Amino acid sequence: MTKLQDKVAVITGGTKGIGLGIASEFVKEGAKVVIGGRNPETGNEGVAELEQLGGQALFVQCDVGDLDSLDNIINKAVEHFGRLDIYVANAGINDPDKTHFLDITPDQYDKIMDINLRGMFFGGQKAAKQMVKQGEGGVLINMSSVNAHLALDSQMVYTTSKGGIQQLTKVQAVALAKYNIKVNALAPGPIGTDLMRRVGSDKQLMNTILSRTPMGRIGTTNECGRLAVFLASPDSDFIFGQSIYNDGGRGFQAFPTPGYKTVTDEEYALLEGLQKEQE
């Protein structure tokens, strides 16, 4: 039997990138998935991709900064599939303008925190209420980042939110343990997503990132998905309130790898297709 047979999972930010990678691995393991996102076109494309894998999937338009929208995606999951077993809080945004700390406005701060931390807090709360109502336990998986503990001053609000997610994961785990709801966080390093490609538009920065990643490459969304399957399955039942890093060693290497070979022009030109090649 597959690891998540007939489990029902909601994945916010599930229409592309890491979220869709998680959804893909979930359906391979027998789960029924609801993917949330803002763009219906992207959402419908994601559902088609999951159905091609043989999975049952539903798209629900969702803005995690809107609490009514969070209620809606959970309600739709229960209406469509009858229950909720796994909630993956993956939706998030970063600081696109790389604003210096001294210049960040309250509006910039609120926009990122509303999605990355407030939305995760209340989305997890709403999902947990449904799981408690069902009386059979469940799983919450929060999307953190290696940047939860790296001081990245060009992404001030984003990194602050990711640090908050790690503490949120711990206190959620303690609060929900008596209901048999398991809570952990997944904390990726550099992964082949649209966001990573935007970061990688600066070749010097990409070389810097890879020189401080012992494995010497960026990860794939499917690698994130396999870790999420582990955290959602009984295999991880005694892992509790943890942030699990899938970062190729990025989080603990202080200096560049000696003799690191920088990215060639040919390799750099393939960056946009790197994730598909690795899959």
Q: Are 53 and 27 in contact (CB under 8 A)?
A: yes
Catalytic residue, chosen from 87, 158, 245, 260, is: 158
Q: Is 87 a catalytic residue?
A: no
Instruction: Measure Cα distances from 165 to 146, 187, 257 in Å.
Output: 12, 10, 30
Q: Are 218 and 190 in contact (CB under 8 A)?
A: yes
Torsion of CA 278, 40, 165, 126, to 10 degrees: -130
Structure tokens given for 186: 């997944």
Structure tokens given for 131: 């799981």
Structure tokens given for 279: 């899959």
Give the containing element (helix H, strand E) for 223: helix 221-232
By annotation, the residues acting in catalysis are 158
